[in-house]
Copies of this chain bind each other. A is one copy, B any other.
Amino acid sequence: MTTDHLVIFTPSGKRGRFPAGTPVLHAARQLGVDLDSVCGGRGICSKCQITPSYGEFPKHGVTVEATALTEWNSVEERYKSKRGMIDGRRLGCQAKVTGDVVIDVPPESQVHRQVVRKAATLRAITMDPATRLYFIEVRQPDMEEPTGDLERIAEALREQWQVEAVRADVSVLAKLQPVLRKGQWQITVALFQDHRGDSPRIVEVWPGLHEAGLYGLAIDLGSTTIAAHLCDLTNGEVKASSGVMNPQIRFGEDLMSRVSYAMMNPNGAAEMTKAVRLAINGLAQTLATEGNVEPDLILETVIVCNPVMHHLLLGIDPVELGQAPFALATSSSLSLNASELELTELNPRARAYILPCIAGHVGADAAAVALSEEPNKSKDLALIVDVGTNAEILLGNVEKVLACSSPTGPAFEGAQISSGQRAAPGAIERIEIDPVTKEPRFRIIGVDAWSDEAGFAEHAGATGISGICGSGIIEAVAEMRMAGIVDASGLIGSADQVGTARCIPEGRTHAYVIFDGRSDGGPLISVTQGDIRAIQLAKSALYAGARLLMDELKVEKVDRVVLAGAFGAHISPKHAMVLGMIPDVPLEKVTSAGNAAGTGARIALLNRSSRGEIEAIVHQIKKVETAIEPRFQEHFVNASAIPNSVEPFPELAKVVTLPDVSFNTKGDREGGRRRRG
C-alpha cells in the first residue's frame, strides 16, 4: 500500500497520489491541471494561488485534515503583507502536500481562464495569448564553456519551461546583457509563439520578475471609424476602449472614392497609408494613457479591416480592388512586426496579426465577424450584418456560409448626416417620437436619463448635446416613419401636413427638428430630407446584400438576425426592421452583437489558436460579389422605400403600426443614387 497522499483538484476533478512534501504546483503540473505560474515555482510571482478545502468530501471519498498541507510559510506571509491575498488562499508553490487534500484552483489562477466577452451573449474567450511571460533563472557565463547569454537564456527556457529553439531580434540582443546582470541572472522574458509553429521569439526582457503586465491592442479599422480595445494579455481585461474618425475620410468618404483618389493622384495611396498609420498611433497613445499602460508593454496588436483599408494600411496600392476581378495582393492572414506598419506607439518589437480576407470585397473584418458570431457553428440559418460604411453580411449555418459586402456608405456611422457624428459622449443614440404630439424624447451617450427625465438637463444641458450617432439616426428615421412625419417614399411632410412646428422648411424640402439649443448657444439638431435619402440608400444596399445571399442560398426567410456595427451603441432591432434594413423575422430572433468585428479582433488577440481557426474558416466561406450582380441592383432599387405597410412583414405587424401618409413636395425628386463604399 502506498503512503502517497491523494490530491484532488477542482473544478477540473483531476486527481493523483503524491509523496508527502510535493508542492501543490508540482502536483498540478504533473496532472496537467491548469494552474498559472510565471516564476516557475520560486515563490515570487504569486500567480499559483490556490484554495485548499478541509473537511469531509463524500463525493470524492476523502476527509481532509487541517494538516493536509504544510504550514503557512514566510514566503506566503511576505507576499500577503506586501500585496495582500484573500484569506484561505495559499501559494501553490509553497504549500506542500502532507495528507489527502482537495484543492480549488480559482479562475484567476488558471492559465487558460475564460473571459466573458460581452454581457449580451455571455460567450467567453479562453485565454491563450501568443505572447506570454516566463520568469527564468539563467546560468552564469563560464569561460570554460563559452556560450552566449542568449544561448543560456534559451537553455533556461528549454529546461525550466520546455520551450525550444527561441530566437531574438537584434534589438533584444542589445538589451540582454545589462538586463541579465541587473536581474542577477533572474529575468522575465516575453515570448511570442506564433500559431503557425514558427520558432518562439523573445520580444522583451526585464530584470527579475516583471509585474507590470503585458498588453495588446485589438483594432477594428473601418472606413469611417477606427475603434480599438487595449487588453491585458494576462487576464483578458479590457483596460481602455476608444475610437477616432479615420482621417482618410478627407480623401473620399467611401471606399471607391479612396480607390479613385489612389488612381488619380500619383502619391495618393501613400498619403492615405500615412494618414491611417498616424491615426492608429494616435489612438494607441490615447488608449495607453487612458488605460495607464506604458506603451512599451503593448506587445501585440490584431487588426481587422475591409480589403481597401487592409491594402492601404499595408502600403499596397488598392487600385486592383477598384475593378473586376477585384484581386487582392494577398488574402492570407499576416503576421509581421508592427514596426513594418510604422506603428510607433507600441513596443518597438510588438507583433501585428491581420486576419485573413475572404475575397476582394469581403475582408478581414468579415472574417472577424465570422470568428465572433460563428455562423459556421449555427444550427439555425443566421443572417449577420455588420453595419459600417460597408456592410459585411454573412448568411449561413453549420452546412454552408455565404458572405458579401454591401456599399452602404457612411450614413450608418453618422457621417453624411447633417447633424451626424461619431458615437461619443453627447451624441443622441436613442430617440422616441410621440405619434400623437410628434414630440421627441432622446438619450445621449454618457447620460443615463432621457431628455424629458429629471436630471437630464443638469448632466447634459444645451451645449452637452452635440449630434446624432449611427444608431440614433436609424431610430430617428424609423420613429419619424412610425409617427407619420415621413411617408413610405421617404418624404418629410411640412408643418401643416404633419401637424407640428418641428417640421421646418429646408430649401425646397423639410427637416424635422429634434433639438434646438441655439438660444442657449447649443446646436440645432434636425433630420433633413437629405439625411433620410442617405439612410434610404444605406438601408437599401444593406437589404439588397442580404437578399442576394438569400437568393444564392435559395431561401425566402432566415431563422435569426444578428445586428452588429462599429458605432458603439447597439442597433434597435425594431427600428432596423421598420426601416427595412433587414428581412422580416420574429423580433425576438433579432439580436444585437455590438462591434462584432472588434470582438473578433479581441478573440484573435487573446486566443492564439483562434487565428488558425479563422484561417481555416475563411476557406469555407463562399463569397458573393455584389458589384457585378444584376440582381443586387434589382433588390437595391426595390428596397428604397421605407415599408409603406406592415403587410410584407407579418412579424413587424406585431410591434408597430405604420401610418398611411403620403407627402408631396416639389423639392425632392430623386430616389437616390447608388454608391459603393
Which residues in A have some Cβ–Cβ distance to B below 8 Å? 140-143, 146-151, 168-171, 173-174, 176-178, 198-199, 314-317, 319-320, 324-332, 334, 336, 340-341, 357-360, 362, 623, 625, 628
Contact = CB atoms under 8 A, between A and B. Distances in A.
29 contacts: A143-B324, A143-B326, A146-B326, A146-B362, A148-B328, A148-B329, A148-B331, A148-B332, A150-B329, A150-B330, A150-B331, A151-B332, A168-B330, A170-B314, A170-B316, A170-B334, A170-B336, A170-B341, A171-B315, A173-B316, A173-B330, A174-B314, A174-B317, A176-B330, A177-B317, A177-B319, A177-B320, A177-B327, A178-B317
Give the 5 A-B residue pairs with the shortest CB-CB distance, closest first. Answer: A146-B359, A141-B327, A148-B331, A150-B330, A148-B328
A359 B146 CA distance: 5
Nearest to A315: B174
Given A170-B314, A170-B336, A314-B170, A146 B177 contact: no
B177 A316 contact: yes
A247 to B, nearest CB: 21
B358 A623 contact: no
Contacts of A330: 148-151, 168, 173, 176
Nearest to A142: B325
A141 B316 contact: no
Contact of A170 (B315, B317, B360): B315
Nearest to A196: B199
Given A146-B362, A174-B317, 13 more contacts: A141-B325, A143-B326, A143-B628, A146-B331, A146-B358, A147-B331, A148-B330, A148-B331, A150-B331, A151-B331, A169-B340, A170-B334, A176-B329
Q: How many monomers of this chain does the complex have?
A: 2
A625 B146 CA distance: 10
Contacts of A143: 324-326, 360, 625, 628
B329 A177 contact: yes
Contacts of A623: 146
Looking at A147, A168, A340, the one whose CB has the most chain B CB atoms below 10 A away is A147
A319 B325 CA distance: 58
A113 B650 CA distance: 79
Contacts of A146: 325-326, 328, 331, 358-360, 362, 623
A169 B142 CA distance: 39
B326 A174 contact: no
A146 B330 CA distance: 10
Contacts of A169: 336, 340
A168 to B, nearest CB: 7
A54 to B, nearest CB: 50
A65 B330 CA distance: 52
Contacts of A625: 143
A128 to B, nearest CB: 23
A329 B142 contact: no
A327 B149 contact: yes
A327 B174 contact: no
A195 to B, nearest CB: 14
A176 B327 CA distance: 11
A405 to B, nearest CB: 12
A180 to B, nearest CB: 9
A202 to B, nearest CB: 11
Contacts of A150: 329-332
A304 B623 CA distance: 52
A176 B311 CA distance: 12
A288 B149 CA distance: 37
Contacts of A340: 169-171
Contacts of A324: 143
A174 B327 CA distance: 13
Nearest to A328: B148
Contacts of A199: 198
Nearest to A352: B170
Looking at A142, A331, A336, the one whose CB has the most chain B CB atoms below 10 A away is A331
A344 to B, nearest CB: 16
Contacts of A147: 328, 331
